[in-house]
Amino acid sequence: MTKKDLKKYRLQLEQDRVRILDQLNFDKEQIKDLEKRDIGDIIDRAFNMYEKGRAIEMSEKEKRELAAIDEALLRIKKGTYGVCAICGSAINLDRLNAIPWAATCVNPSTCKKKRKLRRATTGS
């Protein structure tokens, strides 16, 4: 990976981080709002519960993505960005373009084999 690539992914990660933080704040507000609105008939309440569940699910996903982005930014600092955390191969650039915070290459011939091995030895 070239310095230019690294810079591109760092910018992308920083943009994603801001976007996801915004979304997370929005979801938090929505959850609070739905809790306040927990009145009305059974249909209203069922709908509110559904909406709240969905917003909570979304915010959990966003928190996981934020953590993954922070880790990816740390890897850029350490100079290990784009290297698979499991097998040590370079992560395919197409994969990084789709998911800039990807930490593993999921290459079926190297990575998946190692992952399986690791699972076999740890027993999980």
Q: What residue ranges bind Zn ion (CB under 5 A)?
A: 84, 86-87, 105, 111
Rounded to 5 degrees, φ, ψ at 99 are: -130, 90
- Residue with Cβ nearer Zn ion (23 or 110): 110
Q: Which residue in the block uniquely carries the two structure tokens 């999980």?
A: 124
The amino acid occupying position 72 is A
Closest contact distance (angstroms) between CB of 117 and Zn ion is 12
Reading the block at residue 115, the tokens are 């992952």
Task: Name the minimum Å distance from CB 66 to Zn ion.
Answer: 23
Residue closer to Zn ion (CB basis): 63 or 118: 118
Taking the complex as a whole, how short is the minimal distance between the CB of residue 88 and Zn ion, in angstroms?
A: 7
**Toward Zn ion, which CB reaches closer, 87 or 96?**
87
Q: How far is the CB of 116 from Zn ion (least distance, A)?
A: 12
Nearer to Zn ion, 24 or 84 (CB): 84
| Residue 48 token pair | 């509110």
Tokens encoding 66: 């934020």
Q: Is 35 helix (H, G, I), strand (E, B) or coil?
A: helix
15 vs 66: CA distance, rounded Å: 11
